[in-house]
Each structure stands twice: as structure tokens, then as C-alpha cells.
Structure 1
Amino acid sequence: MIALIMFAAALILLLFGIPVAFAFGGVAMMFAFFIPSLGFDVFNILPFRIYGIMSNTTLMAVPLFIMMGLILEKSGMAEKLLISMSSLFKSVRGGLGVSVVLVGAILAASTGIVSASVVMMSVIALPLMLSAGYNKGLASGTIAASGTLGQIIPPSIILIVLGDVMSVSVGDLFMGAVLPGLTLVSLYITYILIRAYINKEDAPALVSKEKISMFDVVSAIVPPLLLMLAVLGSIFAGIASPTESAAFGVLGGVLLSAYNKTLNFEMIKYALFETMKLSGMIFMILIGATAFSLVFNELGGTDLILEFFSQDIGDVWVFIGVAMLSIFILGFFIDFIEISFIIVPILVPVMAAFGIDPIWFGVLIAMNLQASFLTPPFGLSLFFLKGAAGQSVTTLDIYKGIIPFILLQLLGLGLVVVFPDLVFAFL
């Protein structure tokens, strides 16, 4: 029970806005200090854990993929992609929305950074969609959901983190997430086209006198696709590890930026500093979570949860249902990084006890965590969208527009549960 009180105390601190690393690390120190049977001796192993984190070759891919995404963010690639895609679908009702989804998928496979994708498309696509007469809710929901595809479509930062936390191959998680990610893309496109067919005013065809040649379309689409195929193809073919492919991706991002004539010292400086800040935040959270898990495990928290699910309940589907529901609800209030480092390690022993395939379970968690970016009131993609959109859309427009896409994500999650072959098709 003390372990559960400790867990609840950490969540309460998070809700009060305490930074994640300090919330979990501080709660761990406080409980270690006030419980005589523990004491600070419980942290004797912490330096070795931290050294293991910092020397982990899998986690080295995180700052590399972040840097690749930040370089591509400033390369002008997104704008060229969107203009080219919209020219292909301009005569179709809902075609601009379909273009946004496809560009979101390509950006997800190229950058993997949600904040960059949502902000870029908010700045570029939202004014274009609103001027074309799109419903504000539909436009907002399409941009937020499409920009968040980077959470499930490889190379995804969350898949790298889950691979390390769950001690499974990141390459296998990447391959397992491909079809579920494309399933979400298909669901989004289908919804937009059906809504445009039912209500023509929500998503009219794009009227544009500007003509774009096929050469311009090809030159905008092919380079990022080649980079995506090189990075992911080298992993899937077993030629390179995710970390090595991430390093190649950084080089590819620099070359693509040079191709678009946007490469300069200021851009490289921006990418380096932002990479340092984001990576530092992630690793600080991981260290705080490690301290928390040491005390939590010493208090018997993991054993209590394992006993509850494997003996008191004893049903694998009940465990999966409770786990997915818990992650979905927690996603309303806390970020995917905290859930990955705190909640997932608690679930892993129960998963192993039930004999659940870790790759399939990892993809389920990743799809569920993607919803945490979209669920009000603390969905980060909604904040990114509102911040970039300014007064052109209201918070209510965003909330109303995102609900159908959250339901589509839950439908996609259900499809992966019912049809596990979506995960194992490329494995």
C-alpha cells in the first residue's frame, strides 16, 4: 500500500505542474528518507544505473533522430511537400485534407518529431485550408492528428524509448509499427473523404489558378522519400542498427537542406541547441524515473501489481484492457515520456507472466500513447496547434475537431488487438 501511495503522490505533484524529473526523483528521496527500513542506501545502485543509461547505444538514437528532425524542420521540405501534394488532389472534395494527412505521414517517417510537424503544418496548411472554406474544426483536427503520426510511424522516438524500457529490438518495433501507422493514415483519409461527401461545405475542392509542373511535384516528394527509405530500409534489411541509421539520417537531413538551399550556420546552431535541450529533458526524466523505480520496487509495488493481475484476476484480456484504459486515461494528464518510463516498466513483468508478445504489446502502447498528444485538456499537439494558429481558430474549434480523430485512433487500436498480423506482417 505504501508503494501505491508513493505512486499517487508522484501523480499529484505532476498535476500541480512540478517538472517530471523532480516530481519522481523528489518523491523517491522523500519516501526513502521517511521509511526507516529503506534509507538512502537504496540509492547505492543508482550511479551504476545512470552510467548504464548514458552508455546505452540504443538510447543514443534519440538525440540523433531529434537532430535529424530539427534540421528537416528548417529545410523548407514541409512547405514544398504540401504545395505539391495539394496540387495533385485539388479537384477532389477533401483533397487538401488528404494532402495534409499524406504530408503528415511523410514528415512522420522523415522527422519523427511531433512538435515540429504540428507547428509546421499549422503555419503552412491551416491558412490554406481556412481560405479554401474548410470547417475550422475539421482543419484543426486534421492538422493535429496528422502531425502526431510521428508517434507511431517509424522512426519514432517513443518506439526507441519503449524498445529500451521493454528490452526488445527497436528494429522489430519499427517493423511492427509500419502497418498500424498506415492503418491510421487510411482511417484519417477515409473519414475526411466521407465527411466531404456528406457535407460539401466542410471540405470543398481547392480552387487554385497556380499551376505546378510534375517535375516540381516529383522534386518535392522524392528526396524525403529517399531519405525515409534509406533510414528505415537500412534498419529493416539488417544493414544498420537504429543508432547507425539515425546518424545516417542526420547526414541525409543536412544534404536535403543543402538541396533546398536552406543550409546555413544559424540553422545548424538551432538544431544543435534544441537537440541538447530536448535530449537533456528526456534523460533527466529517465534518471528521475530510475530513482523512483528503485524505491517503488523495494517497497514491493511491482510484486503487488504482478500478484493482482496474474493471481487475483488471472485473465490476460482483462490485463490488456486495464493496461490500455489506464494508459489512455493517464494520457489526458501526463506526457508519453513519463508513461513510458514509469507505467510501462510496471506492466512489463505482468506481460511476461501472461506470455504476451512484447512487440505486439509495445505497438499497442505506442498507439495508445499517440492519443495522449491529442486528448484534452493537456494534449501537447493541441497546444502546439493553438500556439501556431493564433486567433484563426478557437480552443473550442480544436477540441470539437479532434474528437473524431481520437475515436479513429481507438478504432485503429482495436483493429491491432483483433488483427495481430498487422504487427507481425513484416517480422
Structure 2
Amino acid sequence: MLEWYEVGIGLLTLLILFIVMGLPIPFALAGASIPFLLSIQSFSTTLVTAELKMWGVWGDYVLLSVPLFVFLGELIGRSNIGPNLYWFMHSKVPVKGSAAYGSVAACAGFGAVCGSSMVGSLTIGGVALPAMLKLGYDKRLASGVLAAGGTLSVLLPPSLILLFYGIVTDQSIGQLFIAGVMPGIVLVMLFFVVIKVWNMVNSNAIPSSDDSDSIPWGLALSAVLPVIVIGFIITISIYAGIATPTEAAGLSCVITLLLSFAVGGMNLKGLNEAIKATMKTMGYLGLLLSAGVLFGFVMTYYQVPQEFSALFTSFELSPYETLALIILFYIALGMFLEPVSMTFITLPTLFPLIQASGFDLIWFGVIYTITMEVAVLTPPVGLNLYVIQSIEKNQLTIVDVIKGCLPFIGVLVSLIILMIAFPGIATWLPNIMG
């Protein structure tokens, strides 16, 4: 029988090889797993095992919330609720740089009803970026604000990354969602500080006046009220135990669908596009989750996570040294993999180290999520960078977007340090509500 380290190195080598060959990550995960399954089972048994592991995972009721949250975000994004939310956030704020501040606020509001960073950047960015460039904002500031603003969707509940973290590590989804609220608010404030400092350093980055039209109050309410209602339903119902994440997601989808048609200008074409986009997203996420479970089964069979944890523990590093190494590892890995892939590939192996170090597992879930936010802003595989650049290809280069994101990446790293120094930022709210 193969040793655990031989299996670990073999899995990693095959995975990297398949990814470099251009194979999609779900197929790379499954492809790397099959040879090691064949080494312990016959071909026919391997097929049965692969089928049971890859499709059996979808018997988990909690996972039904994933496509529902994705669909909810698509509904908001394809109705007028998202664009009107941005319009309200900047036209009703009589300060210099209102479009920049409003973009962050709109991304935070959108994050309260959508768990996807990419959808958040695309929805608010699609409206805000052309408007900001037209008003005369520095293109690096505008692109950086919107690329970074999208990351608020994966920290403020509902968050797909927090949801997947909870599933992989068997932690309370409700507590994770509540734990993300305070760090999310702090991050919004820090983004505001970056905009203010940017303007102080370069007074030409922000136009002296914003001559865009003010949104009528009726339209403003039609955007703000749905976001408040949906965010309240998701957060309170899950944490209070009134509904499971799946039930809350289902109820929110129904209400969002009704509001999209009633006040959001949604039509049947938009609904059809939202359904197609959800199916496309879930086609990838579904395969990724299934292949990740198969990959995890092979690692668990050979006890790779347990043996790796034992080896790492033998170095007798302090808990904070262990935490620092894991964070640095994820920041480096985030340059090459997107967050969901990282969650299913690495978390089963590294999570036991955090557990053994004695850290609060809900708190680490928030730290992990912030680290994933850094991942979507770091090249060469920073998804939000390409989403924002694609909106204004003629005026923006990918280098402009990267340079615009650098101060915000610094803020995200600062928030991680702040969370380590003051864990109560994440744990206070779940503790008083518990």
C-alpha cells in the first residue's frame, strides 16, 4: 500500500499537471483521484465509488441553498434593483466623491442579498464604472473601488464561501453568517478611508462636483426596501432558527422574484437569462463540489490530512506561527486558484491544523473568507480584476485595475491583522446573540 506522503505528492503533482494542460479544475480533481482509487479497488468498484461520492454529496439538504442563493443574486442583478441601489447610494450623498463612496455602499447592500463576489462586481460595476469614468474619476480609483467592492458579497451574509466553509468543516452556517456582519461593516469603513486618502494624495482623482441626476424617491425605495427585506429574512431567520439556510434561500428567492417583477422592472426575458446564468454557474460549482468530494475521499482513505497535521504539529510551532503560515499559503495559492476550488482542495487538509491550534473555528471562517477576498483581487487569476476590466475594455487595461486594487488589498490584509489582534470583531455578535 502506498504511503500517505506518496499519495499526497502524487495527487498534487497530477492536479497541477492537469491544470497546466488546461483541464477544467473539476475534471483535474477527478482525474487526479482515479489512479489512486484504482490502486485500492477494481475498475468496476472504482466506477461505483466515483458515482456514489460525486453524486451522493447532493443528497445534503443544505447544499440546495447554493443554487437558490446564486439565483437570488442573478434576479437582483438582472432587474433594476441593483442599478437603482447604486444610483440612490451616490445621488443622495452630497459629498465630494459620492460616486466612489456610493459604489462601496451599493456593493455592501448588494452583498446583503448576494453571496457571489463576481456577480456583485458585475452588477454594480456594470452601472457604476461607465458613470464614474464619465464623471471624470481616475480610472484606477474607479476600477479598484468596484473590483474590491465586489468582495463585500463574500463577507456579508449570505456568503457562498462562508456556506462552503461551514459545509466542509461542519460549522453552524447561521453563526458564520452573523460572524461576517461586523468585519463586513469594518471593511466598508476601511474602503471609505482608502477613497478619502486617495483624494488627499491626488486631488485630481475625484471630480469636484457630481452633476448626475438625483434619483426620485420612489425609485430609491423600490431598490432599498427589497434589499433590506431580503437581507433581514436571510440573516435573522437562519440565525434565530426559524428557517434552515435552504428554507431561507427558497423564501428569499420567491420574495425577490415577486419584487423583481413588481418594482424592479423584471421581464420574462430577464427571468430566462437569470435561470440560464444560474444553471451555468451551478454546472461548474456542481462538478467542482462533486469532484472535490471524490478528491477528499482519496485523501481521507490514505489519511493524508491526519498525517500531514501530525507532521506539522511535530515542528512545535506556536498557534500564531501556524496561522500565519496558513494565511500566507492561501494568499500565494489565491494567485492561481479561485476561492471555491481552494476551499474543496485544501481546507480538508489544513482545517485540522487550525483545530489543533485551539482557534475559534467560527472566527477562523471569517479570517479564511477575507483571505479568499484577497484571492479574487490578485493576478494572474483574480476573477474580479477581469470582470471589471471587461466592462470598459476600451478605456481600461488589466494593469490599471491591478494598480487600482493594490490599496484595497492592503486594507484586506490589515483587516486580517486587526481580526487576529481583536478576535471579538467576529465573535462578539454571535456570542451576544447566542
Q: TM tier, shorter chain?
A: over 0.9
Indicate how the Cα distance of structure 1 residues 355 and 44 shifts in structure 2: closer, same or farther if over 3 A, else same. farther
Q: 1:55 — aligned with what?
A: 59
TM-score by length of 2: 0.92
- Tell me whether 1:415 sits opposite 2:429 in the alignment: no
State the shift of 1:66 in Å: 0.6
State the shift of 1:232 in Å: 1.5
Q: 2:144 — aligned with what?
A: 141
Task: Give 1:86's match in structure 2, choosing from 67, 86, 90.
Answer: 90
> For residues 275-308 of structure 1, what are the alpha-carbon distances to aligned partners after superposition, in whole Å with 9 as ceiling and x for unaligned?
2221221121122122222222333422331112
Q: Aligned with 2:315: secondary structure?
A: helix
Q: 2:378 — aligned with what?
A: 375
Q: Distance in 2 between matches of 1:259 and 1:169?
A: 34
Greater Cα shift, 23-32 or 200-209: 200-209
Q: 2:16 — aligned with what?
A: 11
Please give the residue correspondences for 1:18-417 in structure 2 after superposition, counting only pairs within 5 Å.
18-33=23-38, 35=39, 45-50=49-54, 52-89=56-93, 91-208=94-211, 210-417=213-420
Letter in 2 for 1:371: V
Q: Distance in 1 between matches of 2:280 and 2:129?
A: 28
Identity %: 29
Alignment coverage as a number of residue pairs: 424
Letter in 2 for 1:20: I
5+ residue gaps in structure 1? Answer: none
Letter in 1 for 2:269: E
> For residues 296-350 of structure 1, what are the alpha-carbon distances to aligned partners after superposition, in whole Å with 9 as ceiling and x for unaligned?
2333422331112222234211221111111111110011111111100111222
Determine if contact 2:81/2:264 at 8 Å carries over to the other structure: no
Q: Distance in 2 between matches of 1:212 and 1:342?
A: 46
Determine if contact 2:92/2:214 at 8 Å carries over to the other structure: no
Determine if contact 1:138/1:202 at 8 Å carries over to the other structure: yes
Determine if contact 2:66/2:160 at 8 Å carries over to the other structure: yes
Letter in 2 for 1:88: K
TM-score by length of 1: 0.93
5+ residue gaps in structure 2? Answer: none
Q: Distance in 2 between matches of 1:274 and 1:119?
A: 13
Q: Distance in 2 between matches of 1:386 and 1:208?
A: 25
> For residues 336-373 of structure 1, what are the alpha-carbon distances to aligned partners after superposition, in whole Å with 9 as ceiling and x for unaligned?
11111110011122222233221111111111111111
Following TM superposition, the consecutive aligned residue runs of length 4 or more in structure 1 with deviations greater than 4 angstroms are: 37-48, 213-216
State the shift of 1:265 in Å: 2.4
Q: Aligned with 2:62: secondary structure?
A: coil
Q: Aligned with 1:98: secondary structure?
A: helix
Determine if contact 1:151/1:370 at 8 Å carries over to the other structure: yes
State the shift of 1:271 in Å: 2.0
Indicate how the Cα distance of structure 1 residues 426 and 393 shifts in structure 2: closer, same or farther if over 3 A, else same. same
Greater Cα shift, 211-220 or 152-161: 211-220
Determine if contact 1:111/1:150 at 8 Å carries over to the other structure: yes
Determine if contact 2:222/2:264 at 8 Å carries over to the other structure: no
Indicate how the Cα distance of structure 1 residues 51 and 15 shifts in structure 2: closer, same or farther if over 3 A, else same. closer
Greater Cα shift, 253-262 or 378-387: 253-262
Indicate how the Cα distance of structure 1 residues 18 and 381 shifts in structure 2: closer, same or farther if over 3 A, else same. same
State the shift of 1:115 in Å: 2.5
Q: CA RMSD in A?
A: 2.0
Q: Distance in 2 between matches of 1:287 and 1:213?
A: 47
Indicate how the Cα distance of structure 1 residues 152 and 214 shifts in structure 2: closer, same or farther if over 3 A, else same. same
Q: Aligned with 1:334: secondary structure?
A: coil
Q: Aligned with 2:429: secondary structure?
A: coil
Letter in 2 for 1:9: L
> For residues 66-86 of structure 1, what are the alpha-carbon distances to aligned partners after superposition, in whole Å with 9 as ceiling and x for unaligned?
111111111111221122221
Letter in 2 for 1:337: V
Letter in 2 for 1:13: F
Determine if contact 2:90/2:102 at 8 Å carries over to the other structure: yes
Determine if contact 1:96/1:206 at 8 Å carries over to the other structure: no
Q: Aligned with 1:188: secondary structure?
A: helix
